[in-house]
Amino acid sequence: MDSRRSNWRNFWLLWLTGIVIIVALVSQNDRLVTDIAPQGMLDHQVAATAQRVEDIHASWRAAGAMDFFRIAILFDLLFIVLYSTGGVMGGRLIRQAARSGLLRALAGLAILAYAAFGILDFTETFCQAIQGFVTGGNDTLAAIAATAQQPKMAAFFIGFPSLVVALAWFGLERRRSA
């Protein structure tokens, strides 16, 4: 198999596996919904203080959901690696092969957005993981996670559609040249 096909195969495998993982996690978020955390994991992501994190953890322990939270964090870390790496890879593959300068620019935007998303989401989730597995609520870690959450979401909502559009455009460009 030539390296271009292998690279495309790897892109699809990483990116789509990441998407499957996050869809599964989001579909199970209701397991983390409590009176204290009515939005489940999202409440933990934006909990900017140690006390808020501790209150959420206490509600999850009372609901028997703390183990699920820890498992979800591990899968979230896996998602971040697969999805971000796949997104950057896909953007690079399109950027390298595209004819149109505008398409190369769009692929470049996708690369930047996926890289930013990966860094920000890993920072946020790693801070959550330390609090969930090691320290409990920690003001510094909670503040870092909460600060990373909004720009992470912005990067996601720039990266995903820019890559999807770039993929569709690239597919059309390839068909026209065939």
177 pLDDT band (50/70/90 cuts)?
Answer: confident
Q: Does pLDDT of 1 surpass 60?
A: no
Predicted pLDDT of residue 132? 97
The residue type of 19 is I
CA 84, chain centre distance (Å)? 7
DSSP string, 55-75: HHHHHHHHTT-HHHHHHHHHH
The reported pTM is 0.94
pLDDT in tens, 148-174: 999 999 999 999 999 999 999 999 999
CA distance 103 to 107: 6
Top-confidence residue, 1 or 87: 87
Average pLDDT, the chain: 96
CA distance 112 to 106: 10
Predicted pLDDT of residue 4? 78
The residue type of 124 is E
82 pLDDT band (50/70/90 cuts)?
Answer: very high
Mean pLDDT of 54-62: 98
